[in-house]
């Protein structure tokens, strides 16, 4: 990779910088959830109004991912990251000092700009490494995307009880300052500017959208992770209403997929180069499907328990730990010169689908239905993920790729 003379004094980013960029983006999603009741009281508004801070954030997040990619392919990764982090810090201060709920929600939507960290950390990896090696590295970078949202509310609860709700915004602000400094000194430019206008850059989208490989990788990633998002939307209800677990018990069991995700990331880092992304995605999607199917089978036999329900979700974590980094690397490798654009679009597909499945899971569950609606939904999405990657593999064999 060649860099211009103005960039030569800055080396490519270390893995630690990339992990921090990805983790900060994930932490901002739900760290403050335990503070929502007190925030509603503080702003003298209804709790449901404050809940919009999640839905609106996800919506803006998905839209920004589509926009950030082409901008970064035109202007470079480094300036877009630095400006994005500066805007995130300003938006976070706006949330802290907002005089009312409306102003808070406006700045909360602006906070979504932090998604530049997730989009461009993955694009930078693809800039620096070939497809299979990139999958190995993306496994570490994306670890924060799955694990941080699992532990974020626990940290937020501690901060809420100890220091009040504003602490859940001061922490991301402090980490944002640290990330900005680290990015400035460590993140050398990893791509060559395209030289195209922004309009020309956005016109590159059809090149991706017409690619069956891009859709195969993106959908296998979105559907496999969709099972996990559905779990996030439905598992707290299952634990509380079906099994009668306490908040502390749910907190312990709820993290089962995170444990599995660490294992899946380790397997990706260790074996992606050896076996290739297609085989890793295929095995990951099957692991997710098998784990859910075994859990559903126990419930159909009347043998389902809280331990079996949450325990088998470890398979979902392992499967996603193998699928997400490898499918992401595959999607970014379809058109390497559009790596940031592909990263943003595939991320938007995954996040948009995940938000929908999470909401659907919550809507399907009642005390009378038990866990089966959630398990059927998760099983359907994971099985479709197997179909998506199978089509990619079949097409490559047919074309002799």
Query: What CATH number corresponds to the domain at position 290?
Result: 1.20.1250.20
Q: Looking at the predicted structure, is the pLDDT value of residue 27 above 60?
A: yes
Residues 237, 299 within the same domain: yes
Q: Which residue has the higher pLDDT, 376 or 201?
A: 376
Last residue of a domain, one of 187, 202, 217: 202
End-to-end CA distance of the chain: 25
Whose structure tokens read 């990330």? 179
Residues 352, 244 within the same domain: yes
Residues 196, 209 within the same domain: no
Residues 22, 38 within the same domain: yes
Cβ-based neighbour number of residue 113 at 10 Å: 23
Average pLDDT, the chain: 82
Question: Is residue 8 domain-resident?
Answer: no
Q: Which residue has the higher pLDDT, 80 or 343?
A: 80
The residue range of the domain holding 120 is: 15-202
Q: pLDDT tier at 197 (50, 70, 90 boundaries)?
A: low
In the chain, how many domains are there?
A: 2
Residues 34, 157 within the same domain: yes
Q: Looking at the predicted structure, is the pLDDT value of residue 30 above 60?
A: yes
Give the pLDDT confidence of 123-170 residue by residue, as tens digits: 888 777 776 677 667 777 766 666 676 677 778 878 888 888 899 899
Last residue of a domain, one of 168, 202, 236: 202
Residues 190, 235 within the same domain: no
Question: Is residue 150 domain-resident?
Answer: yes
Question: Is residue 6 domain-resident?
Answer: no
Q: pLDDT tier at 343 (50, 70, 90 boundaries)?
A: confident
Question: Is residue 160 domain-resident?
Answer: yes
Alpha-carbon distance 142 to 329, whole Å?
A: 11
How many Å separate Cα 284 from the centre of its chain?
17
Q: Looking at the predicted structure, is the pLDDT value of residue 195 above 70?
A: no
Nearest to 26 by CA among 129, 94, 135, 122: 122
Alpha-carbon distance 71 to 195, whole Å?
A: 11
With a pLDDT cut of 90, the percent of the chain lying above it is 27
Q: pLDDT tier at 172 (50, 70, 90 boundaries)?
A: very high
Whose structure tokens read 């990764």? 77
Residues 225, 183 within the same domain: no
Which SS3 state, helix, strand or coil, does residue 196 take?
A: coil
pLDDT at 297: 95
pTM of the model: 0.74
Alpha-carbon distance 101 to 305, whole Å?
A: 41
Question: Is residue 1 domain-resident?
Answer: no
Q: Which residue has the higher pLDDT, 48 or 319?
A: 319
Residues 187, 230 within the same domain: no
pLDDT at 269: 77
């Amino acid at each position: 990779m060649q860099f211009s003379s103005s960039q030569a004094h800055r080396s490519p980013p270390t893995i630690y910088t990339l992990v921090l960029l990805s983790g900060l983006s994930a932490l901002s999603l739900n760290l403050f959830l335990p503070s929502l009741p007190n925030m509603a009281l503080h702003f003298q508004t209804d709790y449901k109004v404050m809940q919009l801070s999640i839905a609106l954030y996800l919506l803006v997040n998905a839209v920004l991912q589509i926009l950030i990619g082409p901008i970064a392919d035109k202007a470079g990764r480094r300036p877009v990251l630095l400006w994005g982090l500066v805007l995130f810090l300003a938006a976070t201060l706006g949330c802290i000092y907002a005089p009312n709920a409306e102003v808070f929600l406006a700045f909360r939507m602006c906070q979504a700009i932090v998604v530049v960290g997730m989009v461009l950390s993955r694009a930078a990896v693809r800039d620096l490494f070939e497809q299979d090696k990139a999958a190995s590295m993306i496994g570490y970078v994306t670890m924060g995307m799955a694990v941080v949202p699992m532990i974020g509310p626990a940290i937020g609860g501690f901060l809420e009880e100890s220091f009040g709700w504003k602490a859940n915004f001061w922490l991301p602000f402090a980490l944002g300052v640290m990330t900005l400094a680290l990015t400035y000194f460590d993140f050398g430019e990893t791509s060559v500017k395209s030289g195209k206008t922004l309009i020309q850059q956005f016109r590159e989208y059809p090149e991706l959208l017409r690619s069956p490989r891009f859709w195969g990788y993106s959908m296998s990633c979105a559907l496999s992770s969709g099972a996990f998002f559905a779990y996030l939307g439905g598992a707290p209800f299952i634990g509380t209403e079906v099994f009668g677990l306490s908040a502390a018990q749910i907190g312990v069991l709820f993290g089962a997929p995170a444990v599995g995700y660490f294992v899946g990331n380790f397997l990706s880092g260790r074996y992606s180069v050896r076996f290739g992304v297609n085989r890793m995605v295929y095995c990951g999607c099957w692991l997710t499907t098998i784990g859910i199917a075994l859990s559903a089978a126990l419930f159909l036999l009347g043998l389902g328990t809280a331990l079996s329900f949450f325990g088998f979700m470890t398979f979902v974590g392992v499967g996603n730990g193998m699928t997400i980094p490898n499918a992401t690397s595959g999607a970014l490798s379809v058109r390497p010169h559009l790596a940031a654009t592909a990263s943003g679009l595939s991320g938007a597909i995954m996040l948009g689908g995940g938000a929908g499945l999470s909401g659907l899971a919550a809507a399907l569950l009642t005390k009378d239905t038990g866990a089966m609606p959630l398990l059927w939904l998760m099983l359907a999405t994971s099985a479709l993920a197997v179909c998506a990657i199978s089509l990619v593999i079949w097409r490559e064999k047919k074309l002799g790729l």
